[in-house]
Amino acid sequence: MVTEPGPAVPRHVAIVMDGNGRWANKRLMPRVVGHKFGVDALVNIIHASAARGIEYLTVFAFSSENWKRPQDEVSGLMNLVMVAVSKYLARMAEDGVRIRIIGDRSQVSEKVRAAWDHAETLTAGNRRITVSVAFNYGGRWDVVQACRRAMEAGLSPAELDEQVLSRYMSLSYAPDPDLFIRTGGEVRISNFLLWQTAYTELYFTDCLWPDFDERALDAALADYARRDRRFGRVKTDVDAGGQPRALPVAD
């Protein structure tokens, strides 16, 4: 049987935006300048992703482990949240972008929380692309908070299965990522989406995040389009939505 390839454009792309510090170091500038240019790259990639028909974009902006960085870098990153929201939110809202934040909000300052709340509220009705910003996020934290909430909801051990737990994960509103991109040359997950990337295609590039432009995105998408997603099966057998399709029953 001739099978169709999966869809050329992934529905959900997840990105570890790494390499800002090295980008700045190469230019003899403070690391926080790299983060500032990183925000510009992100805004560009959000609009480019929407234009390419990507429905969900999830980006790693601040990990649970990034608190271990020098205090001035951490506060620089926190300040950047407020700057980015006031500078770019209006245009994103106009472009149909819905912003969601995933991560532990209880540990961030009131100011940062207010900026994220504002971004989510203002864009709640948009559906062109959903951009989930992982902030104070860790993949292990996500699994633990999902279990905790499931227990709080009174679920018995027998009621818990993969589908049920997925409803408590922070990306419960999105399909699992089709494509994971990490810039900056490191070949690791760094505690990003552990649960959700079970069958995600992985793509690593040496490009430093502030340099990641539309051409770099297209190179990643072209690489993805050549992948054969088998989901444990023997050969390509996915439907137009990228989901595994039941094999025809032989008679």
Segment interacting with ligand IPE (CB under 6 A) among 54-62, 102-110, 112-120, 139-147: 54-62
Which of these, 195, 194, 198, 200, lies nearest to 177 by C-alpha position? 200
Q: Contacts for 201-207 with beta carbons within 8 Å, 24 or more apart?
A: 201/10, 201/227, 201/229, 203/179, 205/181, 207/19, 207/183
What minimum distance in Å lies between the beta carbon of 183 and ligand IPE? 8
- Asked about 126 being catalytic, the answer comes back as no
What minimum distance in Å lies between the beta carbon of 158 and ligand IPE? 37
Sign of CA dihedral 218, 223, 224, 226: positive
What minimum distance in Å lies between the beta carbon of 137 and ligand IPE? 8
- Residue of closest CB approach to Mg ion: 18
- CB 224, CB 201: distance < 8 Å: yes
Segment interacting with ligand IPE (CB under 6 A) among 62-70, 98-106, 143-151, 165-173: 62-70
Judged by CB under 6 A, the residue of 10, 13, 14, 17 near ligand IPE is 17
236 binds ligand IPE (CB under 6 A): no
Judged by CB under 6 A, the residue of 49, 63, 64, 130 near ligand IPE is 63
- Asked about 161 being catalytic, the answer comes back as no
* Residue 66 interacting partner from Mg ion, ligand IPE, none (CB closer than 5 to 8 Å by kind): ligand IPE
77 binds ligand IPE (CB under 6 A): yes
Q: Which residues are CB-contacts of 87 (< 8 A; sequence separation ≥ 6)?
A: none
Window 5 to 64, contacts with Mg ion (CB under 5 A): 18
- From the number of C-beta atoms within 10 Å of its C-beta (0-12, 13-18, 19+), residue 2 rates as exposed
The count of C-alpha atoms lying within 13 angstroms of the C-alpha of 94, restricted to the half-sphere facing its C-beta, is: 4
The one catalytic residue among 66, 79, 126, 191 = 66
What minimum distance in Å lies between the beta carbon of 21 and ligand IPE? 3
27 binds ligand IPE (CB under 6 A): no
Nearer to ligand IPE, 49 or 58 (CB): 58
Window 130 to 149, contacts with ligand IPE (CB under 6 A): none
184 binds ligand IPE (CB under 6 A): yes
Judged by CB under 6 A, the residue of 44, 145, 190, 243 near ligand IPE is 190
Which of these, 219, 223, 217, 201, lies nearest to 48 by C-alpha position? 217
- CB 64, CB 141: distance < 8 Å: yes
Distance CA 21, CA 31 (A): 5
Distance CA 40, CA 66 (A): 20
Rounded alpha-carbon distances, angstroms, from residue 162 to 46, 165, 208, 230: 30, 5, 35, 20
Summarize as ranges the residues that interact with Mg ion (CB under 5 A). 18
Summarize as ranges the residues that interact with ligand IPE (CB under 6 A). 16-22, 60-63, 66, 77, 184, 186, 188, 190
